[in-house]
Amino acid sequence: MPVPVRELELDLEAFEGPFDLLLALVLRDELDLGEVDVAGIVLAFLERLAEREELDLDACGEFLVLVAALLELKARALLTGEDGDLEDLDPAQAAEELARRLADYRRIKEAAAWLVDRLDEESDRYFRLGPAPLAPRVERRLAAQDPAELATALRALSAEPPAVSLAHLELRFPPVEQFLGRFRSLLARRTRFDFDTEVDGLTRVEQAVAFLALLELRKAGEIELSQASPFAPIRVRRNAETQTERTTTWTARSA
Amino acid sequence: MDRPLRLVAANPLDRLARTLEALLVVASQPLPVEELAEAAAEDAERVEMALGLLAERFQEGRSGIVLERVAGGWAFRASREAADACGRLFERPVERGLSQAAMETLAVVAYLGPCSRPEIARLRGVAADSVVAGLVERGLIAEAGREDGGAVRYRTTPLFERVFGLESLSVLPRLDDLGDAEDIRERLESLAEKRPA
Amino acid sequence: MDRPLRLVAANPLDRLARTLEALLVVASQPLPVEELAEAAAEDAERVEMALGLLAERFQEGRSGIVLERVAGGWAFRASREAADACGRLFERPVERGLSQAAMETLAVVAYLGPCSRPEIARLRGVAADSVVAGLVERGLIAEAGREDGGAVRYRTTPLFERVFGLESLSVLPRLDDLGDAEDIRERLESLAEKRPA
């Protein structure tokens, strides 16, 4: 019987109830995401998984998508300075705004995924980039220009730009990439490793993020996971057919 | 008087087709019909007809040179059948090793039109500087003026359309058709409504 | 045993010919037989045979694409019959304006004196490589020695002065309110740091 991710019971400081409800409350802005311990959710899920005889990978996949969505929301919720007046909105509007931003970003991700597929399909289309070998040389001629344009350009360049908040530049996603890189290079050297040993000594949050990275690698088919028994160490093994050059990583696709 | 003229008409079209072949084989980028017509000193309609002839002749399976409609114009490329041979001789520097971040940035610029690094950063949630510089270097995006705040804006280039085999940006799938972002939101919202008050 | 093999040989040669067409239409320089053979994974002798086929197909009077043997190898060119059309294609219409990036770069170099690419990038707050390369190619700026750090510096050219109708750089429109070149330079540098990239 699969672990019903969305019904995952959470007992966090800020929230007690099923995971799905938590997401709904967040979207309705009835719960401050800043208060929500995402790592706590991951740990609750891990414990739930550990109760089972074997690793439920489908549940892991769904969980990954939902938790990724939550992380995105949380990240975006921290952006209030950028677009200014989220605080001035009533809760419903704020929820709407957050949902809109999340939707925007998801759409961009989907568009990027479409481009990746497209590039893959078109990779056998070769064409010439430069001029043809025996083509005549092109002479580009330019009409007379007004020197005043030069002054205008330099003047514009030296004008004080309106103040723009750089708050958004501070935003960083949790270092899933960092763990992806770390695990990949580990697997380049060894065919298998023990997850628990690897993350030993890290904070709970880091361990949670490391686990997300593990799920992502598994989803990408780069590794296989096994666990002898509940609470036994998670063993990570390099998938035999691992592609060495993966450029698309950490893509949260919809479930 | 009409009939004999029609009979010889095949010949000039063939000649026009040869002229177009010549133009296309030396061009360094896709040529729009109007540009072909102007160079060939012919009207666009006849150029379209001749292109039809050529598209039939230069097609996959029949020829190593393939005529395709791409980036708002017409261009020759190698047949897909010859991709392995081409791969041994030519590099693909433009699209090699494009990262996920690069793809997302391309998607933002392609879909939203000219936009600046801060705008890209806001949508993607991470700073875009090095990614944007890399894409400019590859020729997939280019500067397109500055916005009011003084930040340089970027747009995708014809090379982008060519590399991705797009007739124009308008053939990109509509964003709404792509994902189920709305769907997830609705699902969550309906759940929230079911919640006991 | 030999004969039946020879009989079917026509087909593979045709396929090889298509592969060569593909390689030649993508190449930006003439390709020697050895390179073609290597790319097509065939021996040179068969490649020569296939080239013979192609030379017959792609010849003056028969095709707008002409296969030609030149010093460096084999290459496609436009037929002589289409010379006028090609002339018109490559005779670019006079461009009316410059891009904002080009205008800004020219303004920086003209007003502030010889600058290197890193300097231009710093002053404009955006990578300058492709803009500078474009302006050099068009003859509007040219190399003018190196700065201490070793980076090549660029200055405006006589063509630049002609295009902008200037007798010399000393008659550039005055920007007295902005101070002298040194003031402007400092101002741009401090602004570029503040500006959203």
Asked if residue C101 has pLDDT above 80, the reply is yes
- Enumerate the residues of chain B whose CB falls inside 8 A of the CB of residue C126: 143, 152
Contacts of A116 (CB under 8 A, 6+ apart): A248, B100, B103
Asked if residue C85 has pLDDT above 50, the reply is yes
B128 to chain C: closest CA residue: C197
pLDDT digits (tens, 9 = 90+) for A216-226: 787 777 888 88
Is the CB of B101 inside 8 Å of chain C's CB atoms? no
Note the pLDDT of residue B47: 97
Q: What value does the mean pLDDT take over residues C33-43?
A: 96
pLDDT digits (tens, 9 = 90+) for C104-142: 999 999 999 899 998 998 888 888 888 998 899 889 999
Task: Write the secondary structure of chain B as one string of H (helix), E (strand) and C (coil).
Answer: CHHHHHHHHHHHHHHHHHHHHHHHHHCCCCECHHHHHHHHCCCHHHHHHHHHHHHHHCCCCCCCEEEEEECCEEEEEECHHHHHHHHHHCCCCCCCCCCHHHHHHHHHHHHHCCEEHHHHHHHHCCCCHHHHHHHHHHCCEEEEEECCCCCEEEEECHHHHHHCCCCCHHHCCCHHHHCCHHHHHHHHHHHHHHCCC
Interface with C, mutate which of A129, A137, A150 (most C CBs under 10 A): A150
CA C11 – CA A219 distance, rounded (Å) = 45
- Give the model's confidence band at A168: pLDDT under 50 very low, under 70 low, under 90 confident, else very high: very low
Complete DSSP assignment for A33-48: GGG--HHHHHHHHHHH
Nearest by CB to A138, which of C76, C92, C111?
C92
Mean pLDDT of chain C: 88
Task: Count Cβ–Cβ pairs < 8 Å, chain B vs chain C.
Answer: 144
Contact state of B100 with A251 under an 8 Å Cβ cutoff: yes
Cα dist. C99→A153, B15, B143, C96, C136 in Å? 11, 38, 9, 10, 14
C43 or B128, which is more confident? C43
Interface with A, mutate which of C141, C169, C191 (most A CBs under 10 A): C191
Nearest by CB to A161, which of B150, B178, B195?
B150
Contacts of B23 (CB under 8 A, 6+ apart): B31, B36, B39, B40, C64, C78, C82, C85, C86, C89
Interface with B, mutate which of C89, C90, C91, C187 (most B CBs under 10 A): C89
Residue A2 phi/psi, 5-degree rounding, is -70, 155
Is the CB of C10 inside 8 Å of chain B's CB atoms? no
B17 to chain C: closest CA residue: C64
Note the pLDDT of residue C102: 94
> The whole model's pTM is what?
0.65
Nearest by CB to B80, which of A124, A161, A168?
A124
Which candidate, C94, C110, C89, places its Cα nearest to that of C184?
C110
A169 or B164, which is more confident? B164
The partner residues of B66 in beta bridges, in order of sequence, read B77
The rounded average pLDDT for each run of 10 residues, N- to C-terminus, in chain B (197 residues) is 46 91 95 96 96 96 96 96 95 84 93 88 74 90 87 94 94 72 52 44
- Enumerate the residues of chain A whose CB falls inside 8 A of the CB of residue C75: 132-134
Nearest by CB to B39, which of C39, C88, C129?
C88
pLDDT digits (tens, 9 = 90+) for A124-146: 999 998 889 988 777 778 899 99
Place of tokens 């393939």: B66
Share of chain A above pLDDT 90, in %: 11
Note the pLDDT of residue B162: 95
Share of chain C above pLDDT 90, in %: 59
CA C155 – CA B49 distance, rounded (Å) = 49
Of A23-37, A108-122, B114-128, B178-192, the poorest mean pLDDT is in B178-192
B145 to chain A: closest CA residue: A153
Q: What angle do CA B54, B60, B63 make, to 5 degrees?
A: 65
pLDDT digits (tens, 9 = 90+) for C162-196: 999 999 888 899 888 888 888 888 888 888 777 65
Instruction: Please tell me the distance in Å from A25's CA to the nearest CA on chain C.
Output: 35
Note the pLDDT of residue A53: 67
Nearest by CB to B82, which of C23, C38, C64?
C23
